[in-house]
Amino acid sequence: MNWTKVLVPVLAVLIGAGAGAGGLALADTHGARSSPSPAVVPGGSRAGSNTQGGGSMMGSGGGTARGGSMMGGGSDIAHGAPGGLVPASRMEALAADARRSVDHTGSTLVYRSQQVALVALGAPGSRPGMYWQLDGVDGPGGPTVSVPAGATLAVDFADGDPGHPHGFELTTAAPPYGRMAMMAGKVAAPGAFIMPVPAPDGNLWYAATIRFRAPPAGTYYIICPVPGHAQQGMWAKVVVR
């Protein structure tokens, strides 16, 4: 697949639409917790409804359906929300909750369960520049996530970076990265990709949830597939042990 031909037109549409193209509502994959503000969706509906809705560019399905993304991944949106935005406060609450529930030393996060729930925020404003914040953790060189072989990962992703679209890719390519980092390797597991979404709309962030099985034991990297972003530091390491 020619990534330049896919990403550049898509980004042009997203940016040209003024962030009005609708994102994916967030699935709460982290179990019982206090309930932050619900997602805001077009037409005033709320995440958690059983409304049948059309899919977004990233493959959201209405009702309880599961839709595939444009890149062949799976966006499995719980609660059947037809698409929309998530309050920043909800994403921040999910990240704080996730950080309390995982072993972490410095910027290294170690999951021991076969069910991994990871909150991945694209440059949410806690420091300047392009970077990943994972479960509320970031640091020089990006955080490192360690998961057991065979684990199922549920990634709650949101773009928290004003003015910049971001996406998510688990790749086989290692840094240093050039401008077209997404062409340097392969998507490391089926479904481990989210097409870039628009920048935040004020305190509302575009969000999506994907689920995929961890690839074979080894070292992989989370990057933003937008040209130039991984090159500027938007990458993190994933170790499958």
- Here the CATH number for the domain that contains residue 102 is 2.60.40.420
For residues 81-85, give the mean pLDDT. 50
Q: Can you list the positions of beta strands (E) in 80-201?
A: 85-87, 103-105, 108-110, 115-122, 132-134, 144-147, 152-159, 166-171, 193-197
Number of domains in the chain: 1
Average pLDDT, the chain: 74
Residue 44 domain-assigned? no
Residue 180 lies in a domain: yes
Better-predicted residue by pLDDT, 26 or 128: 128
With bands split at pLDDT 50, 70 and 90, how would you rate the model's confidence at 141?
confident
Report pLDDT for 34: 32
- Is residue 52 in some structural domain? no
pTM above 0.95, yes or no: no
Asked if residue 9 belongs to a domain, the reply is: yes
CA distance 160 to 32: 24
72 part of a folded domain: no
Share of the chain above pLDDT 70, in %: 65
Asked if residue 118 belongs to a domain, the reply is yes
What is the rounded average pLDDT of the residues 136-151?
A: 90
Determine the structural domain holding residue 118 and report its residue range. Answer: 3-20+85-240
Average confidence (pLDDT) over 221-228: 98
**Of all residues in the chain, what percent carry a pLDDT higher than 90?**
59
> What pLDDT is recorded for position 169?
98
Residue 54 — very low, low, confident or very high, per pLDDT cuts 50/70/90?
Answer: very low
Residue 40 lies in a domain: no
Q: Considering the domain boundaries, does residue 73 fall inside one?
A: no
Q: How far is CA 90 from the centre of its chain?
A: 14
